[in-house]
Structures are given as structure tokens and as C-alpha cells.
């Protein structure tokens, strides 16, 4: 029983149920009790309101809705309107409870991250397994994860294959297949097989803990428009008291003055913004978007231009093999790729790893190990594979070895560079053998997202540190015409400030450390929360948990929808208040009817805000749009040309 009364929600429900029964008994005078049963509602529902108002007034001079409600309650009791006082207390408690339930529902998806924090981990020490607290896992520890278990830390799979449910972190509805070398994140769930992994990010550095820190900073109270509503509520309390006093003096009827106090309570006005903000945050959480600041949505509704970083934002940020060219008869592309993979398999360079990984994907097995391997910094590698000496690197490396590159191959290499690609030239036994072309590939949905943003009325720009040719190529594929290449961090910062000074608020979308200044300077910063750096995430207002830029049109349109909802809530609550005041002054409403009319507005505001929880963008910019289709076709044609 003691545990039951410690639960605020259960206690409130019990008090409301008992108060409702008491009010029914009072209204119909059931049992002809010597004491009005409405006193039960006054004590159970009204006293907590009065105590809260007094505490706030005395400790912080906090003149808010509770002050006016308390005055109305006391005044109703003094003039003998006991039932009206009980009803006011009961309905106000219902309104507060509904608000709490709406906010709780909105935050449910966010708080699920905290609840999913794993408490233990299975660590391998020698040949033995030890179950230890997850907080004690250290970098480099080898962990074993069984089917159905939650992964405790971030790491890379070393043995085994499985499928992982990443829905909590990325929103993906289907499990993702994972194998040796694949990264896994804390908080995700191993679906099928058993695997071993090495811990790479532990404790507060893990993905789940980082997301939890973002979640905990999401606070609707920080919205500027919330502060405005609070200030209005304070003035309304003063005006209400003055109106009640004037009406009492002018009419001589204290009941009209009490009714004014009842209907003038600014509950709906105060509820208008936080309920909408929190409902929107709950909606975005289910779409893999975490909002760090409540006022970010208010600021986002003002944005006119979306600025994108390229690498890791519009593109994957990882080089991939897009073409293999052989210029030696009898050495086909597959054989050339295997030679290159063998030469590069011991390389730590991202391009070498990409070639080895591509060959593994093509054949399903690792390339043969070289007999001899040597890394030549800044030029490439040289290796002996099956008795043949293989060089893989830039033109300078092959020139040093006397391997002359055919004019046709050089032209193809220049064409690849013009399209933002990198060419690795190959020589076998001293003769030019061909090249492998790698590129940072555009995300498949990037063009659709940009088209959707344009359809929504926003301008776009690309800010990148890449060279002009690579930047122009990716911008053309994505459908962005405004491009600035060769940007250093201070350049991006200056460009953002220029747009802001020109009355063109910017939303910056980026992922790297070099984007942090621009993310901070923009009206709103959106960071790629999955692969993005911690510094970029800390500088941003909003994070895309699964790096899914498809959520951007939904985010932009929901921000506008949220502000429209807030404005409707504010306007409707003000209109209802003043209409009810006019009816109270003329005597049409008594305290009982006044309480009912007033709280209709509060409930309507809460319901209107709650609609944002399920809101979806009806025009996300996908589907039969010509620009994205043409962009994808251009990407295919560019690869074919290479």
C-alpha cells in the first residue's frame, strides 16, 4: 500500500476516482449527508494545488496558473459554492494529469534507450568466460554475445556471423546481417548466431550512452516560446484579479468575480507550447531523430536554406571500388582485381583496405597473402604475389619503376579524377597492367532527399573541403546547384554567418570535427549521430541517430507543423478565455459552468498537441520525381564512362 501511494500516477488516478464519486454524491445529494461530499474533492485534488501555488509564490514569487486556481478555490468555498470548488479542483487535476500522460507518451520512445542499457557482459579471459558488469568492460576486451542478448559496448566482430536488430538505434525494421569485420553498437540485440567481438568504445563513449546523453538534454522548457507563454500567464493572473475586483465593485455580486477567476485561469495557454514541443520530440524519436534543445524546432521553422557537408553526409565517407580497367591481353578484370587485393591486403591505407574488401566481397574469400610486402609512403605499395612483382599506387610510383602508362589509360584516369574519383594504377612484372577506380559514393537516397527539400520550399547548398571537380560532380548527382569547394572549417563558418547576416537562416547538416564550428553558428545544426564525431554531435542541436538523411524532409516539415500547432493553441486558448470572461461578467456563467468551459480549452489544447505524435509528412519528396532519377542515371553513366 505504501508503494502504491509513492507512485504519483496511481495516487492521482485514485484521488480523481474518489473525487468523482464524491462530486456525484454532492450533485444529486445522495444520502442527504450532513457535510457536502464535494469537500472530498477539495481535499484530495484542491489542497495539492493550493500547496503548490503557495510554495511557488513564497519561494520564487512564481505567479502562474496555480495561484489563480487557488484563489478561485478559496473564494468559491468562502461564498458557499462548495460543489463549484470541488469541481474546479477535480477538473484542474484532470487537465494536469492529461498533460503529464501526453508528455510521458511523447518521451516513451526516448526513455526506452535508457532502459535498454545492458547491465552485464560476457568477457573472454583466456579460455574462460566471465560475466562482469558492463561498466567494467575495457578497451580491447574480447566479448562473446549469444543469441537474444543485448550488445554491451561498441566493437567489431572477430568471429561468427549473425543478424542484429538495430531498430532502437537506427529505426530499421529488419535485422541487419553482420560478419567478421563488421561494427556493432551497444544497445542493439543479437538475433541469431553467437559471435565474438573486440570492444572499441566502452562506458560513456559507447553509442548508446552517447544517445542517452543527447536524450537527457532534450528539454521542452528551453523553448523561447515557452518562456513567452509563461510571461503572458503572469500578466493574465494580474489582469484576472483586477477584472474580478472591478466586476465585484460594479455589480456587487461576488459570484461573478469568482467565476471570472475560474475561467481566467491560463492553463490552456501554459499547456499550449510544452505539450506540442514534447509531442513533436516523441514523433521525431520514432524516426531516428534526437532533439537536444526544445527551441531547436522553433528555430528550424525559421530556416530558409539547408547547407550540406559532403563526405559522410551526402556520401558514405568510405572509398569503394567503382571500376576495374585492364590494359593487358590475357589479364581480365577479375584476375587484375585479385592481384591488386593480394598486394594491398596488408596495407592499412583506406584505399588499400577498400580494394581488399571489394575483392573479398566478389569472391567470398580473402585474397592470397603476398610473399613480400612493402609500403611506400605517399606513393603506394610493392608486393610479390605468386612470384610476380606487383606495384599499386600513383603515376609517380609507376614512373619510378619504368612502367610507362598507355595514353588511353592516362585519359581514363583523368576522366575518373574529373568525376571526383581516385585512380590506383597497377604494374605487373615491370609493365603497366591497368587501374582500379575508387570513389566516395553518394547515398542512394541523397538525390530524393534534396528534391524533397526543394519541393518543401527550401534552398540547398553544398560546403565541402574537396576540390572543385569532385564537389561539382557530387553536387550534380545530388541535385544541388550552389556549391562551395575547398572549404576549411573557418570558410564554412564564414559562409554560414554570411547567410545568417543576409536574413537567410541556415540549417547546417554535417558529421565531422571540421563541421563543428558551422553546426554551432547555423540557426540549427543537424549532426549525423551514428558515424559523426562526438565534437560535431555536441555542437549540433539535432542528431540523426542512424545517419538516415531521408528523415530530413520529415524533420523540416514537422518543425513548421509544430509551430503552427503552437500558434493555434495559443490563439484558441486566448479567444476562449476572453469569451468566457465576457459571459462571466454578464452573469451567464456561474463558477460551475465556468470551470467546465475553461477546462474544455485545456483538454482541446492537449488533444491538438497529441496529434503531432502520429503526424507524418504526406509529401516527403520520394517517388516519381524526375530530378533524383536523372541524378541516379548520371551516376551510372559516369561510372560507365570511367
Pick the closest to residue 545 from 188, 288, 283, 195 (CA basis).
Answer: 288
Look up cell 516513451; give the residue.
108
H/E stretch holding 59: helix 47-60
CB 192 within 8 Å of CB 179: no
Taking each continuous run of H as one helix and of E as one strand, the counts in the chain are: 24, 22
522 Cβ neighbours under 8 A, 6+ residues apart:
307, 496, 500, 506, 507, 508
In the numeric block, the cell 612483382 is attached to 389
The whole-angstrom separation of Cα 399 and Cα 175 is 48
Considering the candidates 165, 230, 309, 511, report the single residue annotated as catalytic. Answer: 309
Provide DSSP, 489-513: HHHHHHHHHHHHHTT--EEEEE-SG
Q: Is 158 left (phi over 0), alpha (psi -120 to 50) or beta?
A: alpha
Three-class SS of residue 554?
Answer: helix
Task: Compute the residue count for the chain.
Answer: 642
Q: In what order do the strands lie in the sheet with 431-442?
A: 315-326, 431-442, 422-428, 388-393, 380-385, 372-376
- Cell triple for 235: 500578466
Q: Which residues pair with 384 in a beta bridge?
A: 372, 389
Q: Region of 30 please: left (phi>0), alpha (psi -120 to 50) or beta.
A: beta
Residue with cell 499547456: 271
pLDDT score, position 231: 64
Q: Which strand (E) or helix (H) includes residue 133?
A: strand 128-133
pLDDT value of residue 226: 55
Rounded to the nearest 10°, the torsion over CA 210, 214, 215, 217 is 140
The H or E element that residue 458 is part of is: none
Angstrom distance (rounded) from CA 222 to CA 218:
9
What are the residues facing 439 on neighbouring strands? 320
- The residue with cell 612470384 is 387
Query: What is the rounded distance in angstroms from the CA atom of residue 274 to the CA atom of residue 219?
Result: 9
Note the pLDDT tens digit of each residue in 413-460.
988 887 778 899 999 988 999 999 998 888 888 999 999 999 989 999
The closest of 398, 405, 390, 314 to 355, measured between CA atoms, is: 390
Q: What is d(CA 476, CA 481) in angstroms, rounded to the nearest whole number?
A: 7
Q: Which residues of the chain have pLDDT under 70?
A: 1-6, 62-65, 98-99, 101-117, 167-175, 207-208, 210-231, 233, 266-267, 294, 377-378, 512-514, 530-537, 619-642
Tens-digit pLDDT profile for residues 573-583: 888 888 988 99
Terminus-to-terminus CA distance in the chain, angstroms? 75
Crossing angle of the two packed helices 626-641 and 468-478, in degrees rounded to 10: 140
Residue linked to cell 477538473? 91
Report the percent of the chain where pLDDT is more than 70.
Answer: 83
Euclidean distance between CA atoms 430 and 404, whole angstroms = 9
Task: Report yes or no: 131 and 120 within 8 Å, Cβ to Cβ.
Answer: yes
Active site residue 548: no
Domains, in order of start, for the chain: 2-110+218-278+561-614 (no CATH), 120-215 (2.70.150.10), 318-442 (3.40.1110.10)
Give the DSSP letter of residue 376.
Answer: E
Q: What CA–CA distances, in Å, run from 11 to 1, 93, 604?
A: 11, 12, 25
Question: In 3D, which of 434, 431, 402, 436 has the Cα closest to residue 421?
Answer: 436
Give the number of other Cβ atoms within 10 Å of residue 464's Cβ.
24
Amino acid at each position: 500500500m505504501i508503494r502504491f501511494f509513492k507512485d504519483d500516477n496511481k495516487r492521482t488516478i485514485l484521488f480523481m476516482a474518489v473525487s468523482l464519486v464524491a462530486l456525484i454524491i454532492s450533485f444529486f445529494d445522495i444520502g442527504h449527508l450532513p457535510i457536502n461530499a464535494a469537500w472530498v474533492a477539495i481535499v484530495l485534488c484542491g489542497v495539492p494545488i493550493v500547496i503548490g501555488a503557495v510554495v511557488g509564490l513564497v519561494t520564487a514569487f512564481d505567479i502562474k496558473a496555480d495561484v489563480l486556481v487557488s484563489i478561485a478555490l478559496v473564494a468559491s468555498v468562502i461564498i458557499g459554492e462548495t460543489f463549484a470548488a470541488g469541481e474546479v479542483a477535480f477538473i484542474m487535476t484532470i487537465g494536469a494529469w492529461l498533460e503529464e500522460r501526453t508528455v510521458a507518451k511523447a518521451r516513451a520512445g526516448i526513455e526506452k534507450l535508457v532502459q535498454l542499457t545492458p547491465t552485464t557482459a560476457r568477457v573472454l579471459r583466456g579460455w574462460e568466460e566471465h560475466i562482469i558488469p558492463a561498466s567494467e568492460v575495457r578497451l580491447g576486451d574480447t566479448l562473446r554475445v549469444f543469441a537474444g542478448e543485448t550488445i554491451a559496448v561498441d566493437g567489431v566482430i572477430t568471429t561468427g556471423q549473425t543478424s542484429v536488430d538495430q531498430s532502437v538505434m537506427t529505426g530499421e525494421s529488419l535485422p541487419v546481417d553482420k560478419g567478421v569485420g563488421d561494427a556493432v553498437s551497444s544497445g542493439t540485440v543479437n538475433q541469431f548466431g553467437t559471435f565474438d567481438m573486440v570492444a572499441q568504445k566502452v562506458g560513456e563513449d559507447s553509442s548508446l550512452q552517447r544517445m542517452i546523453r543527447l536524450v537527457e538534454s532534450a528539454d521542452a522548457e528551453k523553448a523561447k516560446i515557452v518562456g513567452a507563454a509563461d510571461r503572458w500567464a503572469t500578466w493574465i493572473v494580474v489582469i484576472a484579479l483586477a477584472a474580478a475586483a472591478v466586476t465585484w465593485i460594479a455589480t456587487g455580486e461576488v459570484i461573478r468575480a469568482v467565476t471570472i477567476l475560474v475561467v481566467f485561469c491560463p492553463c490552456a495557454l501554459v499547456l499550449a507550447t510544452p505539450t506540442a514541443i514534447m509531442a513533436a520530440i516523441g514523433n521525431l524519436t520514432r524516426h531516428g531523430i534526437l532533439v537536444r534543445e526544445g527551441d531547436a524546432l522553433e528555430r528550424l521553422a525559421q530556416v530558409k536554406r539547408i547547407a550540406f557537408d559532403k563526405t559522410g553526409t551526402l556520401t558514405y565517407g568510405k572509398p569503394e571500388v567503382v571500376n576495374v580497367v585492364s590494359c593487358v591481353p590475357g589479364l581480365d578484370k577479375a584476375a587484375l582485381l585479385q592481384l591488386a587485393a593480394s598486394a594491398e591486403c596488408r596495407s592499412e591505407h583506406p584505399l588499400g583496405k577498400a580494394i581488399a574488401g571489394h575483392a573479398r566481397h566478389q569472391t567470398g574469400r580473402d585474397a592470397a597473402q603476398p610473399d613480400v610486402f612493402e609500403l611506400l609512403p605517399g606513393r603506394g605499395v610493392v608486393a610479390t604475389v605468386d612470384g610476380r612483382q606487383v606495384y599499386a599506387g600513383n603515376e609517380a610510383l609507376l614512373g619510378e619503376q619504368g612502367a610507362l602508362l598507355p595514353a588511353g589509360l592516362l585519359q581514363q584516369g583523368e576522366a575518373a579524377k574529373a568525376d571526383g574519383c581516385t585512380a590506383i594504377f597497377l604494374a605487373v612484372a615491370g609493365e603497366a597492367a591497368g587501374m582500379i577506380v575508387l570513389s566516395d559514393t553518394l547515398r542512394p537516397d541523397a538525390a530524393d532527399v534534396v528534391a524533397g527539400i526543394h519541393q518543401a520550399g527550401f534552398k540547398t547548398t553544398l560546403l565541402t573541403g574537396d576540390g572543385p571537380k569532385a564537389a561539382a560532380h557530387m553536387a550534380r548527382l545530388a541535385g544541388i546547384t550552389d556549391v562551395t569547394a575547398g572549404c576549411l572549417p573557418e570558410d564554412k563558418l564564414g559562409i554560414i554567418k554570411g547567410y545568417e547576416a543576409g536574413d537567410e537562416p541556415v540549417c547546417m547538416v554535417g558529421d565531422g570535427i571540421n563541421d563543428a564550428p558551422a553546426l554551432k553558428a547555423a540557426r540549427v545544426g543537424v549532426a549525423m549521430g551514428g558515424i559523426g564525431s562526438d565534437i560535431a554531435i555536441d555542437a549540433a542541436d539535432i542528431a540523426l541517430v542512424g545517419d538516415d538523411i531521408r528523415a530530413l524532409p520529415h524533420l523540416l516539415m514537422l518543425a513548421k507543423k509544430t509551430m503552427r500547432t503552437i500558434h493555434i493553441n495559443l490563439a484558441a486558448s486566448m479567444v476562449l478565455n476572453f469569451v468566457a470572461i465576457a459571459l462571466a461578467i454578464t452573469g451567464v456563467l456561474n463558477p460551475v459552468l465556468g470551470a467546465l468551459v475553461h477546462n474544455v480549452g485545456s483538454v482541446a489544447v492537449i488533444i491538438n498537441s497529441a496529434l503531432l505524435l502520429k503526424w507524418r509528412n504526406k509529401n516527403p519528396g520520394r517517388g516519381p520525381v524526375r530530378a533524383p532519377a536523372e541524378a541516379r542515371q548520371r551516376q551510372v553513366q559516369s561510372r560507365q564512362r570511367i
